[in-house]
Amino acid sequence: MDKPFALELDGLVVRYGKGCPLCTDSAQALQRNRCPRCGSIWAVRDISLRVREGEILGVVGESGSGKSTLMRALYLDSQPTAGGYYLGRYHDGKTNIYSISLQQRKYIRSHLLGMVYQNPHLGLRMFFSAGANVAEKLIAAGNRNVRSMMNRTGTLLEHIEVPLGRLKEPPVNFSGGMQQRLQIAKAVANNPPVLLLDEVTTGLDLSVQARVLDLVKRIQREFGVTMIVVSHDLAVVRMLAGRTVVMLDGRIIEQGITDQILEDPRHIYTQTLVNSLL
Amino acid sequence: MKNYNFAFLDESSKRAVRRALLKAVAIPGYQVPFGSRELPIGRGWGTGGIQITLSIIGKKDILKVIDQGSDDSVNAISIRSFVRAATGVRTTTDSQEATLIQTRHRIPEIPLRGDQILVLQVPLPEPLRMVEPLESVTKRMHAEMDYAPIWLALYENIVRSGDIELGADYPVMVENRYIMMPSPIPRFDNPKLHKSPALHLFGAGREKKIYALPPYTDVRSLCFEDYPFRVEDMSGRVCRLCGAKDVFMDEFFDPASGKRLYQCSDSGYCEKRKENQPRG
Ligand SMILES: Nc1ncnc2c1ncn2[C@@H]1O[C@H](COP(=O)(O)OP(=O)(O)OP(=O)(O)O)[C@@H](O)[C@H]1O
Ligand SMILES: [Mg+2]
Ligand SMILES: [Zn+2]
């Protein structure tokens, strides 16, 4: 039973808005994810997950199903409404990360997690240089040596195939694909054991998508990083993830081996999703 | 000024300032909000510093007022005469004689002692303002020690221009906890703050903030391992009035000779050296 896990989530709930007796007492009262009485959005409802070390887990679901909210909760951007969150590399997975101090969370964010945001404006400082954007992660982890940080950012930019000449340029000048690759470089700067990728290829040309996916696969192969990959493109998930969960209105409605889910979806919603997107 | 209380402010206002000061001393480098009063002095004339001075001054104190090193600027003279009129205390230009020194933009050259208090006038107390405009956010960032954006700004500066280009008001880390603005003193004066035996009090009137460095506080100017902090280079500069070296100098251009001339910025220090020199 006690297989080593990289990440475990136990009953995560994220509500936007204050909530009221109606929606707090009965989930049936909600219209989709919204409370008809107080208007609160229950963006994530009682999600539990377990991801093994080195595994890539896919998360799919229609727009508004709560994927990005889940990812931001995993990256500790805000305090969720309820839930337990455990990382294998933090206190052997015995401490609920949502209950620890902000200082400890900062440590986890800079050393144990990397994140690529769906919206690059959330993940990058658009008017700082590309180099400084990557260095921010190193600085957050306590590095105070300019030369070593410049070397590291240079290596990372080479890895993501951004010409070194553009190191001093701000990402606001970059193409969408280059911004996503820069986010990846930033996310992996401290070699975190867990990587969170939210729609890393969405909106990119097919050829650019292929390069970004190659990069992700290379990182997984070379460093054995555990990943959670969100996409509403099932092809992306099929290519990367061995196991997939399907979200609807903030809940997981189906999960299993990716190929099985795509070939033999049980839930009617998943069937629609597969039919519409493949 | 007979109708006024000793030191102009009423006792309850002074107590409120002193309570803020006590909290500031208890948490070195932390900005404590206080209810800044109106004073019969223009804004931007150091009302934060004056309120501190008025709230802690006693009849036996000997006061010195410095403005950019000088005792004789209009600003320094008017603050000095205001406090003297409101308290009757003795004033001096000799930093070693003073028990209480209010200053703008300089720290005296002669190291301060444990029985002296330096009050610094602060225009912009928030070191995080350059990276974050919202007060509610900077407050949270201090609480979480979320200082990466400041370091990032310094790093970016080096990446783009090869060095940290900040001049006066160069931020410091206090007791490895709070990043603090030392007020617009030259970088030359930053090292004087580190483990000084004197109590340093900082007042920002417009922004309604008070902060403090109690005696022997650890104060380090921000720098990277391979880009050490550097003060302004004063090497080769000699004061034309007293012959001093290795102190902070003001620079003049002498049109007659076409030469640069230097003079101690700390006028009290310069005066004292001249007095102690044999007249020739
Ligand atoms: N800050 C917010 N305040 C209020 N509601 C929000 C907020 N952020 C998201 N929501 C709502 O929460 C729900 C989940 O949004 P989320 O962005 O997590 O969905 P998603 O699955 O990532 O969608 P997409 O595929 O479009 O990216 C949606 O109903 C959304 O409108
Ligand atoms: Mg999303
Ligand atoms: Zn409700």
Q: Round to whole Å and give the CA distance between B280 and B272.
A: 16
| Ligand 1 atom 4: residue of nearest CA | A16
List all residues 6 or more positions away from B207 whose beta carbon is below 8 Å from its beta carbon: B48, B122, B124, B125, B126
What is the reported pLDDT for B44? 63
Q: Round to whole Å and give the CA distance between B53 and A6.
A: 58
The alpha carbons of chain A give a radius of gyration, in whole angstroms, of 19
Is A138 within the bounds of a domain? Answer: yes
Q: Round to whole Å and give the CA distance between A6 and B211.
A: 45
Residue A150 contacts B, CB cutoff 8 Å: yes
pLDDT in tens, B61-114: 999 999 999 999 999 999 999 999 999 999 999 999 999 999 999 999 999 999
- Summarize the confidence of residues B31-46 as an average pLDDT: 79
3-state secondary structure of A186: helix
A221 φ, ψ (degrees, to nearest 5): -65, -45
What is the reported pLDDT for B151? 95
- Residues touching ligand 1 (Cβ under 6 Å) are A 16, 33, 41, 43, 61, 63-69, 118, 232
Residue A139 contacts B, CB cutoff 8 Å: yes
Start-to-end C-alpha separation, chain A: 36
CA distance A118 to chain B (A): 22
pLDDT above 60 for B280: no
Extract the residue ranges of chain A whose pLDDT is less than 50.
Answer: 1
Which one, of B107, B61, B105, lies nearest residue B80 by Cα? B61
Nearest-by-Cβ selection for B152 from A102, A139, A168? A139
Which one, of B218, B242, B237, B231, lies nearest residue B185 by Cα? B231
Q: Round to whole Å and give the CA distance between A133 and A261.
A: 38
Q: Round to whole Å and give the CA distance between B93 and B102.
A: 11
Nearest-by-Cβ selection for B224 from A128, A131, A144? A144
Which one, of A200, A177, A204, A174, lies nearest residue A187 by Cα? A200
Residue A134 domain boundaries: 125-190
Strand partners, B67: B70, B104
Strand partners, A264: none
- B189 CB burial (10 A radius; 0-12, 13-18, 19+): buried
Type and span of the H or E element at B193: helix B190-193
- Summarize the confidence of residues B123-130 as an average pLDDT: 94
Residue B229 contacts A, CB cutoff 8 Å: no
Mean pLDDT of chain A: 93
Contact between A145 and B224 (Cβ < 8 Å): yes
Type and span of the H or E element at B219: strand B219-221
The CATH architecture to which B11-221 belongs is: 3-Layer(aba) Sandwich (3.40)
Domain spans, chain B: 11-221, 233-280
Write the single-letter amino acid at B61: D
List all residues 6 or more positions away from A144 whose beta carbon is below 8 Å from its beta carbon: B151, B224, B225
- Could you give the number of structural domains in chain A? 1
Which one, of A169, A159, A79, lies nearest residue A124 by Cα? A169
Total number of residues shown for chain A: 278
**Chain centre to alpha carbon of residue B19:** 21
pLDDT in tens, B233-279: 999 999 999 999 999 999 999 899 899 999 999 999 999 999 988 76
Q: Round to whole Å and give the CA distance between A235 and B167.
A: 54
Q: Round to whole Å and give the CA distance between B248 and B245.
A: 8
What is the reported pLDDT for A140? 94
pLDDT in tens, B179-195: 999 999 999 999 999 99
Q: Considering the entire predicted model, what is its pTM?
A: 0.86
- Summarize the confidence of residues B123-129 as an average pLDDT: 96
Tell me, in angstroms, the distance from the centre of ligand 3 to residue A34's CA.
8
- Nearest atom (ligand 1) to Cα of A66: 18
Write the single-letter amino acid at A233: D
Cα torsion B122, B20, B6, B9: sign:
positive
CA distance A22 to chain B (A): 33
Q: Show which residues of B are catalytic.
A: 29, 239, 242, 264, 270
Q: Which residue of B has its CA nearest to A103?
A: B144
Q: Round to whole Å and give the CA distance between B83 and A199.
A: 65
Is A130 within the bounds of a domain? Answer: yes
Query: B148-161 and A130-140 are packed helices; what angle lies between their axes, rounded to 10 degrees?
Result: 140
| Ligand 1 atom 30: residue of nearest CA | A64
Which of the 8 DSSP states describes residue B37?
P
Q: Round to whole Å and give the CA distance between B172 and B118.
A: 17
| Ligand 1 atom 16: residue of nearest CA | A66
List all residues 6 or more positions away from A105 whose beta carbon is below 8 Å from its beta carbon: A76, A97
Is A139 within the bounds of a domain? Answer: yes
Which one, of B159, B179, B178, lies nearest residue B226 by Cα? B159
- Summarize the confidence of residues B154-158 as an average pLDDT: 93
Among A267-276, B15-24, B133-142, B247-256, the minimum mean pLDDT is found in A267-276
Q: What is the 3-state secondary structure (H, E, C) of A228-255?
A: EEECCCHHHHHHHCCEEEEEECCEEEEE
What is the reported pLDDT for B243? 96
% chain B with pLDDT above 70: 97
Contact between B131 and B153 (Cβ < 8 Å): yes
Contact between A140 and A110 (Cβ < 8 Å): yes
What's the complex ipTM? 0.84
pLDDT above 70 for B42: no
